[in-house]
Amino acid sequence: MKLEDLEIYRLAMELGELVWKIVVKWDYFAKETIGKQWVKAIDSVAANISEGFGRNSFKDSRSFYYIARGSLYESKTFLDKSKNRQLVSEEYQDLLNRHNQLGIKLNNFISKHTELMNSKIKQ
Protein backbone atom coordinates (compact mmCIF):
# COMPACT_ATOMS: atom_id res chain seq x y z
CA MET A 1 0.00 0.00 0.00
CA LYS A 2 1.15 3.51 -0.82
CA LEU A 3 0.55 6.64 1.24
CA GLU A 4 -1.64 8.03 -1.53
CA ASP A 5 -3.94 5.01 -1.12
CA LEU A 6 -4.96 6.20 2.34
CA GLU A 7 -8.28 8.01 2.16
CA ILE A 8 -7.45 10.08 5.24
CA TYR A 9 -4.28 11.32 3.56
CA ARG A 10 -6.11 12.28 0.37
CA LEU A 11 -8.86 14.07 2.32
CA ALA A 12 -6.28 15.93 4.42
CA MET A 13 -4.42 17.01 1.29
CA GLU A 14 -7.63 18.25 -0.35
CA LEU A 15 -8.67 20.18 2.73
CA GLY A 16 -5.23 21.76 2.96
CA GLU A 17 -5.47 22.99 -0.62
CA LEU A 18 -8.95 24.41 -0.03
CA VAL A 19 -7.78 26.32 3.04
CA TRP A 20 -4.74 27.62 1.14
CA LYS A 21 -6.93 28.93 -1.71
CA ILE A 22 -9.07 30.82 0.79
CA VAL A 23 -6.30 32.27 2.94
CA VAL A 24 -4.11 33.40 0.06
CA LYS A 25 -6.82 35.93 -0.90
CA TRP A 26 -7.01 37.58 2.53
CA ASP A 27 -5.46 40.93 3.39
CA TYR A 28 -2.06 41.09 5.06
CA PHE A 29 -3.27 41.34 8.66
CA ALA A 30 -5.68 38.40 8.37
CA LYS A 31 -3.01 36.27 6.65
CA GLU A 32 -0.37 37.10 9.25
CA THR A 33 -2.61 36.35 12.23
CA ILE A 34 -5.19 33.63 11.59
CA GLY A 35 -4.18 32.66 8.07
CA LYS A 36 -0.66 31.40 8.69
CA GLN A 37 -1.72 29.46 11.76
CA TRP A 38 -4.68 27.89 9.95
CA VAL A 39 -2.57 26.81 6.97
CA LYS A 40 0.13 25.39 9.24
CA ALA A 41 -2.43 23.48 11.30
CA ILE A 42 -4.25 21.96 8.34
CA ASP A 43 -1.02 21.15 6.48
CA SER A 44 0.22 19.44 9.64
CA VAL A 45 -2.62 16.92 9.39
CA ALA A 46 -1.40 15.45 6.10
CA ALA A 47 2.25 15.82 7.13
CA ASN A 48 1.77 13.81 10.32
CA ILE A 49 -0.27 11.14 8.57
CA SER A 50 2.66 10.85 6.15
CA GLU A 51 5.21 10.63 8.91
CA GLY A 52 3.17 8.05 10.80
CA PHE A 53 2.75 5.99 7.67
CA GLY A 54 6.51 5.97 7.16
CA ARG A 55 7.37 4.75 10.65
CA ASN A 56 8.43 1.17 11.35
CA SER A 57 6.63 0.62 14.64
CA PHE A 58 2.94 0.70 15.43
CA LYS A 59 3.50 2.89 18.47
CA ASP A 60 5.51 5.47 16.53
CA SER A 61 2.91 5.53 13.78
CA ARG A 62 0.04 5.93 16.21
CA SER A 63 1.76 8.86 17.91
CA PHE A 64 1.89 10.74 14.62
CA TYR A 65 -1.74 9.89 13.86
CA TYR A 66 -2.68 11.38 17.24
CA ILE A 67 -0.72 14.52 16.40
CA ALA A 68 -2.56 14.68 13.06
CA ARG A 69 -5.87 14.52 14.93
CA GLY A 70 -4.77 17.31 17.26
CA SER A 71 -3.82 19.46 14.28
CA LEU A 72 -7.22 18.81 12.73
CA TYR A 73 -8.90 20.11 15.90
CA GLU A 74 -6.59 23.13 15.85
CA SER A 75 -7.57 23.76 12.24
CA LYS A 76 -11.25 23.60 13.20
CA THR A 77 -10.61 26.35 15.76
CA PHE A 78 -9.15 28.60 13.06
CA LEU A 79 -12.08 27.79 10.78
CA ASP A 80 -14.46 28.96 13.52
CA LYS A 81 -12.37 32.07 14.21
CA SER A 82 -12.39 32.84 10.49
CA LYS A 83 -16.17 32.60 10.42
CA ASN A 84 -16.57 34.72 13.56
CA ARG A 85 -14.35 37.42 12.05
CA GLN A 86 -16.19 37.33 8.70
CA LEU A 87 -13.20 35.97 6.78
CA VAL A 88 -15.19 32.97 5.53
CA SER A 89 -18.92 32.81 4.99
CA GLU A 90 -20.53 30.67 2.28
CA GLU A 91 -17.63 28.18 2.28
CA TYR A 92 -17.86 27.66 6.06
CA GLN A 93 -20.38 24.81 6.03
CA ASP A 94 -18.49 22.85 3.36
CA LEU A 95 -15.20 23.25 5.26
CA LEU A 96 -16.88 22.29 8.54
CA ASN A 97 -18.35 19.17 6.93
CA ARG A 98 -14.94 18.24 5.52
CA HIS A 99 -13.28 18.74 8.92
CA ASN A 100 -15.92 16.58 10.59
CA GLN A 101 -15.73 13.87 7.93
CA LEU A 102 -11.94 13.73 8.16
CA GLY A 103 -12.13 13.66 11.95
CA ILE A 104 -14.45 10.64 11.91
CA LYS A 105 -12.32 8.81 9.36
CA LEU A 106 -9.11 9.63 11.20
CA ASN A 107 -10.57 8.40 14.51
CA ASN A 108 -11.69 5.17 12.82
CA PHE A 109 -8.25 4.77 11.26
CA ILE A 110 -6.53 5.25 14.63
CA SER A 111 -8.90 2.73 16.24
CA LYS A 112 -8.21 0.11 13.56
CA HIS A 113 -4.48 0.81 13.77
CA THR A 114 -4.61 0.34 17.56
CA GLU A 115 -6.58 -2.91 17.21
CA LEU A 116 -4.01 -4.23 14.75
CA MET A 117 -1.18 -3.12 17.04
CA ASN A 118 -2.76 -4.86 20.04
CA SER A 119 -3.37 -8.06 18.08
CA LYS A 120 0.30 -8.14 17.01
CA ILE A 121 1.44 -7.62 20.61
CA LYS A 122 -0.72 -10.53 21.82
CA GLN A 123 0.74 -12.92 19.27
Q: What is the domain partition of the chain in residue ranges?
A: 3-122
Question: What's the CA gap between 2 and 107, in Å, rounded?
Answer: 20
Predicted TM-score (pTM) of the model is 0.92
Question: What's the CA gap between 103 and 65, in Å, rounded?
Answer: 11
* The CATH number of the domain covering residues in 3-122: 1.20.1440.60
List the pLDDT tens digit at each of the 123 positions of the chain.
899 999 999 999 999 999 999 999 999 999 999 999 999 999 999 999 999 999 988 889 999 999 999 999 999 999 999 999 999 999 999 999 999 999 999 999 999 988 887 777 665
Residue 107 makes CB contacts below 8 A (sequence gap 6+) with 69
